Amino acid sequence: MNTKLKIIFTLLLVAALGTTFCFGQRSTIFIADKPFVQEYSIKYNFTNERVTLNSVVSDRNGYIQVLSSHGLLRPKAGQFLFPGELVNDVQYRPTSDKGITDADIYKNQIIYIDDKAVLSNAWAGNLYSRHDLPNAKLVSAGQDFKFLIADEMKLNLLKDSETLWKGSLNTEIQDIKYDSENDQFFILSTGEIYSFSPKKNKLELVLQNDKLTCIEVAGEKVLAGTSDGFFEFDAKSKKQISEIEIKLPWPEITTIKSVDGEIWFGSTHGAFKFEKNDKFSYYASKRWLPSDNVIDISKGPENSVLILTDAGLARICRKEMTLFDKAMFFEKQVRERHIRNGFNATVSGMTEGDVTSGSMETSDNDGLWTSMYLAGEVFRYAVTKSEDALQNIRESLDAMERLYTINEIPGFPSRSFERRGYKYHDKKWRRTEDPEWDWKSTTSSDEAIGHIFVFGAIAELVDDAELKSRAILLIDTLMSTTIKNDHYLVDWNDEPTTWGRWNQEYVNARPIMVGDRKINSSNYIGMLQTAYHFTGKEKYKKTAFGLMDQHGYLENLVRPMSEISRAPETADDWSRMLSESWNHSDDEMYYCGYWGLYRYAFNDELKAKYKEAIVDHWETERPEKEGLWNIMTAIVGDDDYDFEEAIWYLQEYPLDLVNWTVKNSHRKDIELIPENFREQTIKEVLPPDELRISRHNANRFDLDGGSDGRSEYSAGDIWLLPYWIGRYLGVIGEPVQK
């Protein structure tokens, strides 16, 4: 520890040994942590442009085969985040060498067709039903080993090498589907759908539509896909029972499949699954698929779904887990790939989502992202008393503490630090006396509020006297420095940093509708309250009341969010720049600050006013369904602040935190709304697994974004903080046994 901290540390250690700060947790747990289905993708890439991928099947043994223009392929290797590839299937050459043109599933076994027969390797190879269509390209299995096969325009009904019926169409046959409910086949040709009854040997035209692309039988209905939506008709009566549906993620349908009662659609712009309430789950971008051009969909092994694209295969895996299970997965992700000198770091510079190709990078907000991860570990420790969590706290607190000691400015926290030679080209970076290290200047209010949030949480909740005392010392150090410097963060050049400004002349220079006036007042009063609560030093209380009573900070911080808007044209340039649109980073700063603002309030009267301001803020944020905001609002009482939506957020957040490029603005199933100050683009926010990966300082209504898989974010601040603070506050219960 740096010499300048040792004296204060020694004094505070004695006080901390005999001091306990207790605050009540929630009296009711709103949400039980029940198992849910977590989806993730394992991808198998295919790069041979001379070969066309046609269809995919999987049998009862879990064996997956892809039919291509150059024979059978199979998946090789592949695991979550580490794609495999499709390779030639040579496992059983007597099948692979036959020139297979189509495959289907019958009684959970794979059947094939070539130029001579319908065959299978199941049933001891006894199925070998010869046919007389040398150019046969399609096969569909009916009852009792009857098969309807087709070439370009001819149809044959086949059983035991006997042709039971022959027919033909005037247009090219594209697909055949069997309806087991009514023992009939549906045949798709160019612009037409026919039905065929094996009992009556009757071929019947059902409908005509020039835009037809695919068909699927789903119970009592047949779904017909087109180049502009889909419609349904009754399988028995053959009458159309729905108008064409075009409010889809993308209406150019390439395939429709019923998988275990779920209706899946493939399109030229991703895949989607029909959900209740006429909504769709959308699977697009390389988070889910090798390509968005979907060719085929089928049932896969172990409750998975196989999605074949023109660039390879995706296996959408579905695993039952609890939120606690997901937390443990993410704890491992953070520790394996995202801890840099104790900081919570992003892996950047990746190639095509390969997490082994990137490096951990410094950030302007290393202190904030680490504060949020560290706070999550504090709440984890408070709930579980995990020694692993306690060690994580020690290591990240070491990093946070070193921010204050690595530079020579008393009480000034660096933004970050790094070994010399990697960052000095950036003017924000400064040399240290130690020739091995550089440190980053220009520290912002984002960093400061994160520091005070987590130091207060440690001081309150970690029952380790040394850690508690170090946290109190850091609170005292930072806040003493800001008071000494007239409520500014003063940098190496004796100038306030751009954003470390809580001085009344700066804060109140902004018109009242500018968000910075409210956020700076809210944060700074919370910071001063935290310092007073844990040190007992009157200067913090006196300063806070002076700012509230004489300079309007209380009025600023309780101002309703409805009054926050753009500054008028007559305002100064800085105020107009600050208020061009809603600042989502401010939302993050507000909530980090609410911990100290509400929990360490000077008195009950203020606490009531703070609660009103916090709930008002939450009401404004409700449409975003931001899990952390909903959960953290629980600090003010036992009311339900959309906790079901918070659980939805945690469950739906993808396991894959690679920053893939994601697009949603093309979708036809979303309702766009007019441009507005809050930058809400659509009526209802999309699930997290359909959006780009982002931290809590981003707009969850951004429809497009990402960076082509060039980085992986840490779950530490994004997911683990809301989960563990939810556990601590009683919003989320212990995992329910499966």
pLDDT at position 167 over 80: yes
pLDDT of amino acid 76: 98
Mean pLDDT of 493-505: 97
C-alpha atoms less than 13 angstroms from C-alpha of 118 in its C-beta half-sphere: 30
CB 147 within 8 A of CB 120: no
The residue among 422 and 212 whose pLDDT is bigger is 212
CA 166 to chain centre: 53
Provide the pLDDT for residue 12: 44
pLDDT greater than 50 at residue 313: yes
**Which whole number is the average pLDDT over 228-249?**
97
Taking residues 515-537, report their average pLDDT.
98
3-class secondary-structure state, position 232: strand
Q: What is the mean pLDDT of residues 173-202?
A: 98
How far is the CA of 68 from the CAs of 74, 151, 152, 268, in angstroms? 10, 17, 18, 19
pLDDT, position 28 = 65
pLDDT band at 26 (very low <50, low <70, confident <90, very high): low
Averaged over 322-332, what is the pLDDT?
98
At 277 the pLDDT is 81
Average pLDDT value over all residues in the chain: 95
The H or E element containing residue 20 is: none
What integer pLDDT is reported at residue 9 of this predicted model? 45
Nearest-10 Cα torsion for 414, 593, 715, 630: -170
What pLDDT digit, counting tens, does each position of 381-439 carry? Answer: 999 999 999 999 999 999 999 999 999 999 999 999 999 988 877 889 999 999 999 99
Whole-number pLDDT of residue 276:
84
Predicted structure pTM score: 0.94
pLDDT exceeds 50 at position 450: yes
Residue 3 confidence (pLDDT) above 60: no
CA–CA separation, 103 vs 57, rounded Å? 7
Q: What percent of the chain has pLDDT over 70?
A: 96
pLDDT higher than 90, residue 155: yes
pLDDT at 426: 82
Q: Is the pLDDT of residue 27 over 90?
A: no
pLDDT above 60 for 477: yes
Tell me the pLDDT tens digit for each residue of 86-131: 999 999 999 999 999 999 999 999 999 999 999 999 999 999 999 9
Q: What is the DSSP annotation of 278-313?
A: G-EEEE-STTT-S-S-EEEEEE-STT-EEEEETTEE
Position 21 pLDDT exceeds 80: no
* CA distances, 244 to each of 200, 211, 223, 226, 247 (Å): 31, 11, 10, 9, 9
Q: Over 90: is that where the pLDDT of 19 sits?
A: no
- What pLDDT shows up at residue 17? 37
**Confidence band of 569 (pLDDT split at 50, 70, 90):** very high
Residue 13: HSE in the Cβ half-sphere, 13 Å Cα cutoff: 9
pLDDT at 14 over 50: no
Query: First-to-last CA distance in the chain?
Result: 47
- Whether 526 shows a pLDDT value over 90: the answer reads yes
Alpha helices in 81-183, H assignment, sequence order: 93-96
Please check the confidence at residue 536 and state whether its pLDDT lies above 50: yes
pLDDT at residue 713, rounded to an integer: 98
- Contact yes or no for 285/270 (Cβ under 8 A): yes
